[in-house]
Chains A and B, each alone.
Chain A
Amino acid sequence: MKSKFMVLLSLVALTLLGSCNNGSSKKKSQGALSGNVAERVFVAPGEHDEFYGFISGGFSGQLSVYGLPSGRLFKVIPVFSVDAEKAYGFNEETKPMLMTSHGFIPWDDSHHPDLSQTEGVIDGRWCFINANNTPRIARIDLTTFETAEIIEIPNSAGNHSSSFVTENTEYVVAGTRFGVPVPQRDMPIEEYKGNFKGALTFIKVDQETGNMDIAFQILMPGFNYDLAHPGRGKSHGWFFFSTYNTEEANTLLEVNASQNDKDFIAAINWKKIEEYVANGGGKKMPTRYAHNIYSDDTHSATSTMKTEILTVEPTDVPGAIFFLPTPKSPHGCDVDPTGEYIIGNGKLAAALTAHSFTKMLDAIENKKFDGEAYGIPILNYDDVVAGVVQQPGLGPLHTEFDGRGNAYTTFFISSEVVKWKLGTWEVVDRKPTYYSVGHLMIPGGNSRKPWGKYLVAMNKITKDRYLPTGPELCQSAQLYDISGDKMELLLDFPTVGEPHYAAGAPADLIAPNSKKFYKLGENNHPYKTLSEKEARVERKGNEVHIYMTTIRSHFSPDNIEGIKVGDKVYFHVTNLEQDFDVPHGISMIGANTSELLIMPGQTETFVWEPKQPGVWPFYCTDFCSALHQEMQGYVRVSPKGSDVPLKWSLDGE
């Protein structure tokens, strides 16, 4: 209706302008509006976007949630880095989320979000994302849009070929980028070749709770495992990992890892390995890795250190692992919606290589091998290749699919997205990106069912694209309409951190499940306060626990006396509101931490260690209500050894 009306308006306008004909309105109307582009990305105030876009935050360590096609940012979900705005990693409840075998780590580099799938179709339950630096996988719950779980990956380094899910979310995989000694030990770096390992980790996902548990880890040769995607449809049960540095160089990789004419895509029959493990195969190895789970029941996270992992030697499971020769350091490793084609994006190659799953199975059956590497058979290139896209561009990185037989590949060096046809391998369209595109995303574009309407290209460099902000500039995403024969650039918007991969899904799959608030009756936080009557202050030695509540527009208690210098004061604050979108915040002068931002029904805790006697105010940091500015209180701090009694009140009671 609306679009029809717009057309009508435009017609009226154009007719009138035409009849005007006095030269005053020549070129101006040839802008975005007349081309209809603005209307296609304009989501009117109060209306909703058609798709969610989950865009990785790269070196911010987070995951951002955008609306598409508008490019509006809704939320930055803290995952691997502390976030003072949301108290993530600052309050007592979420600190365990960032625990690792190396201790508390406040930052990471988040890379590849991937959405859970059922029968190869995105199902809107969870979003997984990997930490690249200190290897971890996180699961984000798409009812709360919060990080629900983080599991550390031992024996891995540069956790880059991660966190991709199999087509029923049986597993999320995490592959190491850097070869490392397994287990870690003190040894000369130059003895890398033949001694370092490349661990590919398969993490089982519980279908009810989403909880992750490392099932097994395959100890591959010490190549660099770069990216991965699961088989789907006919190739379900297999997983494909691209590799580079099959030279096993340990220095100046830009030269030394570019020597071989071909590297490999490793094809892993995980069903076979699953069976091997189920029958008692594999070897348990002592190790240490953290497993952190956040509970919406206690509104708190726990961190458990695990001490053992099940490892699998490739040569112990014959017929499960093969290498597909692929030209020149393949980066993206992408599987088309039918599961037949495995695309290797050789970043230094002049052509794109598509392997055929059918031909691969045939080559395996007929043992069409071209040698082996560390006991793993190498299939003969000519017997597995399905086709080659000739001269598509420079520096291919990643490929996604539209479900209509087309593939879209990004080219970093020639800075473009190229559309080509699966099967005929002909290039049918190309559009520039601004500038130097890395990943791309089509909602569902790495599943059996792409929603092939939009494509988001994520760029590393923006230079002159926006108003300048000094030497440090944002990265960007660009939205293309891919519903027609030719791609059309519609929108250009800045991103949070450097966007690596992204995942997208129709809003209808996710929005109806979005939680509005937490029920007070279900709050099992050990320091909850469920009514103002229960509000109190308790002392245990030099620890003071304040059981505090918030409701529009006051804290209870709001006057506290009897705190002494040297005390460790815990503010356990429960938000008593049971109403959508009424968080309260709290912050205390001089507290060496962030504010709390407490959702209705939730309890959160911060610690304050007062250093000076005095009367110190605290206040609500989130504009909660008309009387927000009145939402404040005082704590009286007396000198060490003082005998001021512990006392608390609200309005003198």
Chain B
Amino acid sequence: MKSLLYTLTIACTLGLLAACSSGGGGSESAESTVDLTKNTPKGQASVVDNESKANILQVAIGSPDHTTLVKAVEAAGIEHVLVNAGPLTVFAPTNAAFDKLPAGTLDDLLKPENKGKLAEILTRHAAPGSYDIEDLKKEAAKGRKLYMATGDYLDVTTEGDDVFVNGVKVEASIYTSNGVINVVNDVILPK
């Protein structure tokens, strides 16, 4: 925070010097460089609310089986999406699911330079709308595919009582205030 203010001061100073040398508009830039909006970097994920039913992010944070997912969501910078009004359906890979990835894959994705790639992979696990296991069975019965937030379509199939998305079995549905979490034991990868 302090360093941000410091940067701001430097920027302000430089701006003024530049205005000075060009010989005009000095006072105007003095007003415009003071941007207090930058002092309050907030988002919906920081809303304090202990009364509402828990949202997708809050449920995930509370789940000991999803610590890797939560870490990945934060690294990808998509935490605000998971508290949005939605409604959203999130297929939430367990820690065990991430462990199945080839060695080094996750560590690589968590690197800052791969933020965009990680966000893309995670976003492929989110669909607009609320679909629990029963809804997914209906999708399968009607031959519908599931449209994901990345624009991909996932195949929805059934085998006996079980439901699969792109071949990954849906273990359980958890209801949240802004949608549904479907627990999966594999990371859903593009076909």
- Provide the residues of chain A in CB contact with B37, threshold 8 Å: 44-45
- In the assembled complex, the Cα of A22 lies from the Cα of B23 at a distance in Å of 7
Known contacts A9-B34, A579-B53: does B27 contact A17 (CB below 8 Å)?
yes
Q: Are B12 and A552 in contact (CB under 8 A)?
A: no
- In the assembled complex, the Cα of A551 lies from the Cα of B132 at a distance in Å of 14
467-518 of chain A: CB within 8 A of chain B: 516-517
382-398 of chain A: CB within 8 A of chain B: none
A12: Cβ under 8 A from any B Cβ: yes
22-55 of chain B: CB within 8 A of chain A: 23-28, 30-31, 33-34, 36-37, 39-40, 42, 47, 49, 51-53, 55
Q: Are B49 and A580 in contact (CB under 8 A)?
A: yes
Known contacts A12-B13, A45-B40, A625-B85: does B55 contact A24 (CB below 8 Å)?
no
Size category of the binding interface on chain A: 35 or more
Known contacts A6-B34, A47-B40: does B23 contact A24 (CB below 8 Å)?
yes
Q: Are A9 and B55 in contact (CB under 8 A)?
A: no
| Residue among B20, B23, B40, B49 with the highest chain A CB neighbour number at 10 A | B20
- In the assembled complex, the Cα of A19 lies from the Cα of B21 at a distance in Å of 11
A589: Cβ under 8 A from any B Cβ: no
- Provide the residues of chain B in CB contact with A47, threshold 8 Å: 40
Q: Are A626 and B30 in contact (CB under 8 A)?
A: no
Q: Are A627 and B52 in contact (CB under 8 A)?
A: no
- In the assembled complex, the Cα of A29 lies from the Cα of B29 at a distance in Å of 10
A46: Cβ under 8 A from any B Cβ: yes
Contact of B30 among A8, A17, A42, A516 (CB under 8 A): A17
- In the assembled complex, the Cα of A552 lies from the Cα of B5 at a distance in Å of 41
Known contacts A8-B9, A33-B31, A44-B36: does B51 contact A17 (CB below 8 Å)?
no
Contact of B52 among A6, A29, A553, A578 (CB under 8 A): A578
Q: Are A578 and B25 in contact (CB under 8 A)?
A: no
Using CB atoms, name the residue of chain A closest to B5. Answer: A5
- Provide the residues of chain B in CB contact with A46, threshold 8 Å: 40, 42
Q: Are B52 and A580 in contact (CB under 8 A)?
A: yes
Q: Are A12 and B51 in contact (CB under 8 A)?
A: no
Using CB atoms, name the residue of chain A closest to B16. Answer: A16
Q: Are A29 and B85 in contact (CB under 8 A)?
A: no
Q: Are A579 and B39 in contact (CB under 8 A)?
A: no
- Provide the residues of chain B in CB contact with A12, threshold 8 Å: 9, 12-13, 16
- In the assembled complex, the Cα of A602 lies from the Cα of B123 at a distance in Å of 33
A350: Cβ under 8 A from any B Cβ: no
Give, as a whole number of angstroms, the nearest-CB distance from B93 to chain A.
23
Using CB atoms, name the residue of chain A closest to B25. Answer: A24
Q: Are A24 and B24 in contact (CB under 8 A)?
A: yes
B173: Cβ under 8 A from any A Cβ: no
B84: Cβ under 8 A from any A Cβ: yes
Q: Are B129 and A627 in contact (CB under 8 A)?
A: yes
Give, as a whole number of angstroms, the nearest-CB distance from B34 to chain A.
6
Complex interface bits, A16-33 against B, C-beta within 8 A gives 1, otherwise 0: 110110101100110001
- Provide the residues of chain B in CB contact with A552, threshold 8 Å: 85-87, 130, 178-179
Q: Are A9 and B177 in contact (CB under 8 A)?
A: no
- In the assembled complex, the Cα of A12 lies from the Cα of B5 at a distance in Å of 13
- In the assembled complex, the Cα of A19 lies from the Cα of B51 at a distance in Å of 56
A416: Cβ under 8 A from any B Cβ: no
- Provide the residues of chain A in CB contact with B87, threshold 8 Å: 552-553, 625-627
Give, as a whole number of angstroms, the nearest-CB distance from A48 to chain B.
11
- Provide the residues of chain B in CB contact with A5, threshold 8 Å: 5
Known contacts A8-B9, A25-B26: does B20 contact A20 (CB below 8 Å)?
yes
34-59 of chain A: CB within 8 A of chain B: 42, 44-47
Using CB atoms, name the residue of chain B closest to A16. Answer: B16
Give, as a whole number of angstroms, the nearest-CB distance from A296 to chain B.
15
109-154 of chain B: CB within 8 A of chain A: 128-130, 138
- In the assembled complex, the Cα of A631 lies from the Cα of B101 at a distance in Å of 39
Known contacts A12-B9, A578-B52: does B34 contact A20 (CB below 8 Å)?
no
Known contacts A12-B12, A552-B178: does B49 contact A516 (CB below 8 Å)?
yes
A2: Cβ under 8 A from any B Cβ: yes
Give, as a whole number of angstroms, the nearest-CB distance from A286 to chain B.
48
B17: Cβ under 8 A from any A Cβ: yes
- Provide the residues of chain A in CB contact with B51, threshold 8 Å: 516-517, 580
A582: Cβ under 8 A from any B Cβ: yes
For the complex of A and B, list the 3 residue pairs with the smallest distance between their C-beta atoms, beginning with the closest: A579-B177, A46-B40, A25-B26
Task: Give 23 CB contacts A-B under 8 Å.
Answer: A2-B39, A6-B34, A12-B9, A12-B16, A16-B26, A19-B20, A24-B24, A24-B26, A29-B31, A46-B42, A516-B52, A552-B178, A553-B87, A553-B129, A578-B177, A579-B52, A580-B51, A582-B85, A582-B177, A626-B84, A626-B85, A627-B87, A627-B128
